Structure 1
Amino acid sequence: MTLATLSPADTRAALDAGARLIDIRGADEHARERIPGAINVPLYRIGDLPRDCRPVIFHCKSGMRTAANAAQLSAAAGNAPTYILGGGIDAWRQAGQPIITDRSQPLEIMRQVQITAGALVLTGVLLGALVAPNFFGLSAFVGAGLMFAGVTGWCGMANLLRVMPWNRRAKA
């Protein structure tokens, strides 16, 4: 299923006319950067989306997640007219529309996983080449972990990073 795509300007006009903007990214992504007025309903909770007759515009970072999940998003919106913000929050920013950025929030978990995995692989390769070949095992271990995460959907590194002190939310 394909949903109609709106430009940032058309999205702004629809919002001004009463449409709802739903951010399907994870809570960590939404906390760090968001469009003012966007409601965060992560994709895995999209069934919890409150239904009403107002048009619904879904967005993610680049538009790829929304396009890939169009049927699920349309079903969650019920009978309301449903659209996708073409290019996601990236296109919104490039069009000069307002963004709320909170740099005090930690980086998104997947970015942390990418940085950590890359650093561990590079360290294993350098130590394996310069110190002892056994260090290549570190790179192999990280690679195997990434493959396991891709196949099963469970990422031990992401779970470990989530409990690190810099990712703990301040209690109100």
Structure 2
Amino acid sequence: MPSPTVTTVAPQVLREWMDQHEDLVVIDVRSAAEFESLHIRGSYNVPLPLLTEHAADLASRLGERVVLVCQSGVRAEQARQKLATAGVDTAAVLDGGAPGFASAGGDVVRGRSTWGMERQVRMAAGSLVLAGLAGGRFVSPKLRTVAGAIGAGLAFSAASNTCAMARALGVLPWNRSADEPTAATAINRIPRSAA
């Protein structure tokens, strides 16, 4: 009977792998701004939209040992599934993401601080719901539909494992980096696997 495919890896296990395996590739699928604020030393930044669009190109460079990182695991799991369809079925997702790795004493690089995308989404959604409810109470009852629309959007986001609000927030100036990677620069930084 074949052994089950490992899809997650604990921060401590990743620390051990980094010491033991020269062929290990750690790919951070967060935005460039999130990557700049905190990332695992030696990891490569390939934001999820780039990875999704160029999964086959990336897969051609990767070997057997690949760990995908994001803030909490959601985007990294999406990347793992996309790479699996491109032929890389051995990739694993880091439990707890980059912050979990840092909390476990992993070697990280800290840069300019910015709120994580998930925190920004919670702030925007919460603010819009409050504005809709307050506007519905004091301006027009029709403004309560804003709260309903945000609630529906959050439910759809959870069901589809996507987030339109995160995409919209991702284009704001504080979420953009001077070094926003392109497909060529992000993928070409990753060394080709010898296998």
TM-score by length of 2: 0.61
Letter in 2 for 1:27: A
Residues 154 and 52 of structure 1, relative CA distance in 2, 3 Å threshold: closer
Unaligned runs of 5+ in 2: 181-195
The equivalent of 1:55 in structure 2 is 65
User: Any conservation in 1 of the 2:27–2:43 contact (CA below 8 Å)?
Assistant: yes
> Using CA pairs below 8 Å that are at least 6 residues apart, which structure has the higher relative contact order?
2
Distance change (3 Å), C-alpha of 1:65 and 1:98: same
Name the SS for the 1:57 alignment partner: strand
- The answer to whether the 8 A contact 1:51-1:78 is kept is no
The 2-side partners of 1:164 and 1:52 are apart by 32
Q: Does 1:103 align with 2:112?
A: yes
Q: What do residues 122-156 of structure 1 show as CA deviations (whole Å, max 9, x unaligned)? A: 1221232345434324324544555677789683x
CA–CA distance in 2 between the matches of 1:162 and 1:82?
26
User: Equivalent residues in 2 for 1:46-125 (5 A)?
Assistant: 46-49=55-58, 50-53=60-63, 55-67=65-77, 70-74=80-84, 76=86, 78=88, 82-104=91-113, 106-125=114-133
- Root-mean-square deviation (CA, aligned residues, Å) is 3.9
Q: Structure 1 unaligned runs (5+)?
A: none
Q: Measure how far apart 1:37 and its partner are.
A: 0.8
CA distance in 1 between counterparts of 2:5 and 2:176 reads 38
Over 3 Å counting, the alpha-carbon distance change for 1:124 and 1:159 in structure 2 is same
Give the match for residue 10 of structure 1.
Answer: 13
Aligned residues: 169
Instruction: Give the C-alpha shift of residue 119 in structure 1.
Output: 0.5
Cα 1:108/1:54, change in 2 over 3 Å: same
Select between 14-23 and 41-50 the one with higher mean Cα deviation. 41-50
Measured at CA, do residues 5 and 126 of structure 1 come closer, stay the same or move farther in structure 2, by a change above 3 Å? closer
Give a deviation string over 1:66-113, Cα, whole Å, max 9, x none: 45664543465759x644434432431231113223334x43445433
Q: 1:24 aligns with which of 15, 22, 29?
A: 29
Higher Cα radius of gyration? 1
Contact 1:3 1:67 in 2 (8 A): no
